[in-house]
Amino acid sequence: MNTLVVDLGDRSYPIKIGRQLFTNPALLTEHIHGRQVMLVSNTTVAPLYLDAVAGMLAGFSLQSVILPDGEEYKTLDTLNTIFTALLENRFNRGCTLIALGGGVVGDITGFAAASYQRGVAFVQIPTTLLAQVDSSVGGKTGVNHPLGKNMIGAFHQPNCVLIDTNTLDTLDDRQLAAGLAEVIKYGLIKDSGFFTWLEQNMTALRTRDKQALAYAIERSCALKAAIVAADERESGQRALLNLGHTFGHAIETGTGYGNWLHGEAVAAGMLMAAELSARHGWLSTDAVRRTEKLLRQAGLPTSPPAEMTADRFMDLMAVDKKVVDGGLRLVLLKDIGHALVTSDFRQDLLAATLAGAT
Ligand SMILES: NC(=O)c1ccc[n+]([C@@H]2O[C@H](COP(=O)([O-])OP(=O)(O)OC[C@H]3O[C@@H](n4cnc5c(N)ncnc54)[C@H](O)[C@@H]3O)[C@@H](O)[C@H]2O)c1
Ligand SMILES: [Zn+2]
């Protein structure tokens, strides 16, 4: 097992990465506050892993709540079912919530922990590649609103992130590819050496080579941990993690939550960001070509669906959180491994990118 640390002073926490971690209860129990534990999972993940995780919690007063599965259930209504379970079981402020599942379960459970009795402890046990490399680390929690994705939420850091890479064995290929989009993102924004490693190892990753996956997860978590430690509340460089997300969120909202996977939408969005960067002359056409090739090799889409017209994009992007004082801010690329956040891009080139993408 390898342990990384998200360094946030007295709120620092470990990310433990390894295989068969569920056979070692102490890895989890040392991060549980109090005796009351609410295990939150969903209808797909619970039959696979709930018993194993519950088995680590002998001696605790354990309850569970099983949510319906899907991005379309990442809502205030679903969040309320967690509050109801907590209140029915008389959970107090000293309790701990555990999120067992992908990014949807992690984001909802984290928000429940952020807001139940003004904040209780929680632990992330991510079971998708996307959640293991991205959403479980960094403390962004929340739910969707019909008018915009992740529009209601809070920052609330977990006490621990426990990543058992064996859980990926049951994940289907499409979901694995969606996670690879966020992995590729780290190379694009921060680490050209990692990008090159990904170009050399994409086949190994897609065929689930354990060592390659472990390395990709560790490198991704290390990059995210460093960014979060430097800028927890996204006043600066954390915004780079949104590469492709302004376009991607528009695709997710525009096509109806759950039809395009988050990682798929981000993949198409990252290529749009690369193309817009190239239109400004900031990024070489060779770098755009390499990005497109790597996304394709990962099994990801490289353009949005035809229904996403330029007008539809503009409408949806206007509610994006990256809009500051009415001005849209985008993450663009200067090179592979070098991103910037800017509102200083040309509207005509944005329009051309939106029109040309479909
Ligand atoms: N908080 C953040 O910083 C952050 C970052 C990135 C993404 N996100 C959010 O994460 C969400 C996407 O997460 P996701 O891609 O994990 O989607 P998800 O949670 O919907 O999981 C994908 C699917 O895989 C299933 N699943 C989970 N683990 C499994 C396993 N081990 N075996 C078999 N099936 C399994 C799930 O039940 C679901 O059907 C989005 O809502 C996105 O906004 C949040
Ligand atoms: Zn993302």
pLDDT at 257: 73
Q: Which ligand is nearest to the CA of 133?
A: 1
pLDDT at 34: 94
Q: Which ligand is nearest to the CA of 266?
A: 2
Q: List pLDDT tens digits, range 249-264.
A: 999 989 987 789 999 9
Instruction: Give the global pTM.
Output: 0.95
Neighbour-count burial for 179-203, b at 16+ CB within 10 Å, e otherwise: bbbbbbbbbbbbbeebbebbeebbe
Which ligand 1 atom sits nearest the alpha carbon of residue 179?
A: 15
Torsion of CA 256, 259, 263, 266, to 10 degrees: -40
Residues catalogued as catalytic? 118, 140, 182, 224, 234, 238, 242, 245, 249, 262
Distance of CA 146 to the CA centre of its chain: 20
Q: Quick check: 318 pLDDT over 90?
A: no
pLDDT at 322: 59
End-to-end CA distance of the chain: 44
> At 324, is the pLDDT very low, low, confident or very high (cuts 50, 70, 90)?
low
Q: Which of 171, 311, 331, 353 is nearest to 237 (CA)?
A: 331
Whole-number Å distance, alpha carbon 134 to ligand 1 midpoint, is: 10
Q: What is the mean pLDDT of residues 43-63?
A: 98
| Candidate from 130, 161, 169 with most ligand 1 atoms within 8 A of CB, to mutate | 130
pLDDT at 5: 98
Q: Quick check: 26 pLDDT over 60?
A: yes
Mean pLDDT (the chain, rounded) = 95
Q: What is the mean pLDDT of residues 269-278?
A: 98
Q: Quick check: 87 pLDDT over 60?
A: yes
Cβ–Cβ under 8 Å, residues 285 and 278? yes
Q: What is the mean pLDDT of residues 289-297?
A: 98
| Candidate from 41, 111, 128, 224 with most ligand 1 atoms within 8 A of CB, to mutate | 128
Instruction: Give residues (CB < 6 A) around ligand 1.
Output: 42, 44-45, 48, 69, 71, 74, 101-105, 107, 127-128, 130-131, 134-135, 138, 140, 150, 167, 170-171, 175, 178, 262-263
Q: Which of 296, 282, 256 is nearest to 71 (CA)?
A: 256
Q: Which of 93, 92, 88, 48 is nearest to 65 (CA)?
A: 88
Cβ–Cβ under 8 Å, residues 304 and 357? yes
Backbone Cα Rg of the chain = 20
pLDDT at 63: 98
Q: List pLDDT tens digits, range 183-197.
A: 999 999 999 999 999
Q: List pLDDT tens digits, range 105-129.
A: 999 999 999 999 999 999 999 999 9
Q: What is the mean pLDDT of residues 23-32?
A: 97
151: phi then psi, degrees, rounded to nearest 5: -80, -15
